[in-house]
Amino acid sequence: MSERKRFYLTTAIDYPNSRPHIGTAFEKIGADVQARYRRMEGYDVFFLMGNDENTVKVARRATELGLATKAYCDEMAQQFQDVWRALDISYDYFIQTSDPRHHEGCRKFMQLVYDRGYIYAGTYRGWYCEGCESFKTETEIKEAGGVCPVHRTPPVERSEPCYYFALSRFQPALLDYYERHPDFIQPEPRRNEVISLVQSGLQDVNITRIGQDWGIRVPFDERFTIYVWFDALLNYITGIGYGWDEERFREWWPADIHFIGKDITRFHCALWPAMLLAAGLPLPRRVFAHGWVYIKNEQTGAVEKISKSLGNVVEPMEIITKFSSEAFRYYFMRECPFPGDGEFSWSRFAEVYNADLANNLGNLYSRVITLILRHFEGHLAGSRAWEPGEIYEEQDLEATVQQVQGYIENCEYQLALQRIWQYILDPANRYADRKEPWKLVKQDLEAAARVLFDLVESLRVTAILLKPFLPRTAERIYRSFNFSRDWQQVRCEDCYVYPRPVDDLRCLVRPGPDGKLAPLFPRIEIR
RNA sequence: GGCGGCGUAGCUCAGUGGUCAGAGCAGCGGCUUCAUAAGCCGUGGGUCGGUGGUUCGAAUCCACCCGCCGCUACCA
């Protein structure tokens, strides 16, 4: 047996000062689709997520609530994971950067980079806000009109000892890497931004803070803690064993994709690779920067940034409990292009849900199964010898499936879903209307059975292609029949290389007490 | 300020020199009733942001203008 292909993917780690919102969830769902797709296609997958806990803000928030910082972090980590589990995010490990193993990995890494001569002592001079107990950037202060944007007080110029990471020395190496790996930064606009940024010149960055209790101690100078980005980025290697299980680390590194928000592209595409180069480690293969989810205000029609102060925060749990995690996942993957920005509104949500999930997919499922149960008692006799018939004769199913796969691999999820509806489900509904099996059944039972067999075939293909997107619905559709291939073993190729059945096709579901089949997606009645 | 992107039917967008400018959703009309009042068929005259130019011919290339947006070093 040849060694199985590995696939290591990560999402950004989140600040736990507030609960995750739908924008955060968007990223995790997009990553989850990729993880599920790769597993389905035979990869050994490791999917890392986590929280970014070593910041002053987190320590301050804990103090406000009268909690020990670590206890607060653990509590928030639970809350985050509750949401991720409710959304069926299939992560393999959830890292907390307050974990001692992460601390050890960071210290080891920093010592290594220090020993290799890329970290040096210096002085940091900047604008300090007493209220925030932190430095503010020039632009932050300029935008606020010369004061701290939070406290509205003028900052004081302050200097303190620190350690710098020699980022500037990596400019040529970074540009060379971008040149030789055109797919490293995606999508394209982000790549161009990073290249122009790096071309414009890099400054060394201060990677330490002095006099803080919460955080990771600098190994070669215990007065200091490691400053956020240097620490946070390292989760991608400490999460798979760096510093505590070297064998495991070597098994998974480098990452195949880092999924991040577009706002933190530069850290992942410039600082992070430079850090790895400084440590002599391989660089990740791909960084994918997704877009933002905005809220469309139903009254004004205005598109707003998600913000607490605007009061427009939509809780993921609200969508999940009102509808389902499947509907949540579908809306964001279909309606918000992953590489670009998208919008959320309840009315749009209802529209998309009804049109695609209830009326199209769900209704097809219901009408096909009902006919098979009513006229064939759920058993299409003799069908074990049949081949899928003319339902796809007007298209090349293999080409369609491969197109969908290509879109998924490029993280163009909205295009993948669009294809599935346009090339599989819509033709199936049209085929049903053209053949009218509900009439045929009165004249030619076998002909009707053949039509229904083909319609089931389109449901089988749909279930397989939707497996990464709607894991529960896909499984429910698939397990409604006695297909020969086990659901766990199913892969995209099975769509067009028809797995030989050992038995006639049978429906395994039955109507409820009301005589009706339980709908996949009950319609949302508007008003 | 600099660099880059965008502005196409009510909504979301595809279309980058050449048949009458397209798709999905919504809307409207019809057919149908197996199905979740679902489905199918038909229906889109929208200054392709504006002006000027290149060309036999531009939504598609160039210039300028208007409007929106991104990046310009530590916010998902």
Residues 292-321 of A with CB under 7 A from strand B: 292-293, 305-306
In a domain, A387, yes or no: yes
CA dihedral sign of residues A318, A324, A325, A329: negative
In a domain, A489, yes or no: yes
* Phi, psi angle pair for A384, to nearest 5°: -60, -25
Strand B lies under 7 A from the Cβ of residue A438: yes
pLDDT of residue A114: 96
pLDDT tens by residue, A57-113: 888 889 999 999 999 999 999 999 999 999 999 999 999 999 999 999 999 999 999
In a domain, A407, yes or no: yes
In a domain, A142, yes or no: no
What's the one-letter identity of residue A241?
G
Which helix (DSSP H) or strand (DSSP E) does residue A517 occupy?
none
Looking at residue A93, the DSSP 8-state letter turns out to be E
pLDDT of residue A139: 64
Burial class (CB in 10 A: 0-12, 13-18, 19+), A111: middle
In a domain, A69, yes or no: no
pLDDT of residue A449: 96
Strand B lies under 7 A from the Cβ of residue A326: no
Closest listed residue to residue A284, CA positions, set A236, A238, A325: A236
pLDDT of residue A184: 94
A144 Cβ neighbours under 8 A, 6+ residues apart? A152
Spanning CA of A398 to C1' of B38, the rounded length in angstroms is 29
In a domain, A469, yes or no: yes
Contact A130, A168 (CB under 8 A): no
Strands (E), A69-188: 93-96, 119-129, 134-136, 156-165, 185-186
CA–CA separation, A31 vs A324, rounded Å?
19
How many other CB atoms are found less than 10 A from the CB of residue A228? 19
Strand B lies under 7 A from the Cβ of residue A482: no
Supply the CATH number for residue A471's domain.
1.10.730.10
Rg (CA), chain A: 27
Point out the nucleotide closest to A515 (alpha carbon to C1′). Answer: B35
Task: Quote the number of domains for chain A.
Answer: 1
In a domain, A446, yes or no: yes
Give residue A46's region: left, alpha or beta (phi > 0; psi -120 to 50): beta
Weakly modelled stretches of chain A, pLDDT under 70: 1-3, 130-134, 137-147, 149-152, 392-394, 526-527
CA–CA separation, A438 vs A371, rounded Å?
7
List, in sequence order, the alpha helices (H) in A363-468. Answer: 363-376, 397-409, 413-420, 426-435, 437-443, 445-466
Please state, in angstroms and as integers, the Cα–Cα distance from residue A478 to each residue in A459, A463, A482, A487, A492, following that order. Answer: 8, 6, 8, 7, 14
CA dihedral sign of residues A19, A22, A23, A24: positive
List, in sequence order, the alpha helices (H) in A206-304. Answer: 228-233, 235-238, 246-252, 265-266, 272-279
In a domain, A54, yes or no: no
Spanning CA of A382 to C1' of B9, the rounded length in angstroms is 50
Residues 257-276 of A with CB under 7 A from strand B: 260-264, 266, 270-271
Its domain, for residue A471, covers 345-506
Strand B lies under 7 A from the Cβ of residue A339: no
Which of chain B's bases lie under 7 Å from a protein CB?
Answer: 3-5, 12-13, 23-26, 33-41, 70-76
Contact A20, A80 (CB under 8 A): yes
Contact A94, A214 (CB under 8 A): no
pLDDT of residue A341: 87
CA dihedral sign of residues A74, A75, A77, A78: positive
Could you tell me the two tokens for A317? 């749990």
pLDDT of residue A340: 86
CA–CA separation, A320 vs A20, rounded Å?
13
pLDDT of residue A1: 45
Spanning CA of A424 to C1' of B46, the rounded length in angstroms is 30
Residue A8's SS3 state is strand
Residues 221-240 of A with CB under 7 A from strand B: 227-229
Which helix (DSSP H) or strand (DSSP E) does residue A170 occupy?
none
